[in-house]
Amino acid sequence: MNIQPGMALGVQRPGYKHYGIYAGIFHEAQFVIHYNDKCSGGRGRIEPVLFHNFLKGDEWWIVDVNGMEYTATVLENSLARAASRFHEQKYNIITNNCEHFATWCVTGKAQSRQVEEIVAGLLLDPRQTVLAKIEECIVTMLGKAFKQHPLITVGVVVMLGTMLVMNAVESKGQQKRCC
């Protein structure tokens, strides 16, 4: 499928997916409208950004938003909704994040599957889900860091491993004293 203005785009970041709305080509440059966390003191602001800055070198995809077909009307409404929120600074990771924004632009209903999955996981097994997310984030970040600084990354992995072993030994010692 060819990318068209109004389509929701996704990119994989370390530990999460980031979303925006493809705005099209203006003055020979491609733009995406998204919550930009690099401005306004990290609070996030909805604004257009160059396509390559949105990607940050990561792989991207056209998001299937709840099976919604990208008709001409859907694309037009999506762009209009995105533009209507330019410069908004109401970012909230739980209730109004980049996925909520992109989904709302396409469907008219804000939704974040990432938040829903985390909340559902916490309800089933809080510790396991949080630990799995932390592990996923660390592994992803270490993988990217290794490509740029292999020796430093190996040192960090050894240090983390040592800390985990020490923590496990300490925890076993505390369990024996308590029981």
Residue-wise pLDDT tens digits, 28-81: 999 999 998 655 455 689 999 999 999 998 999 999 998 989 999 999 999 999
**Please, where are the H alpha helices in 61-149?**
72-84, 98-107, 113-124, 126-148
How many angstroms separate the CA atoms of 163 and 45, rounded?
Answer: 38
How many angstroms separate the CA atoms of 86 and 104, rounded?
Answer: 14
pTM assigned to the model:
0.68
Bigger pLDDT: 157 or 90? 90
SS3 31: strand
- From the centroid of its chain, how far is CA 118? 13
Whole-angstrom CA distances from 144 to 29, 58, 140 are 28, 11, 6
Could you read off the pLDDT of 110-137 as tens digits, one per residue? 999 998 888 877 676 655 656 666 666 6
Domain 8-111, second-level architecture: Alpha-Beta Complex (3.90)
Bigger pLDDT: 172 or 16? 16
Cα dihedral: 79, 27, 31, 84 (round 10): -30
Residue reference for tokens 């496990």: 168
Structural tokens at position 18: 């980031």
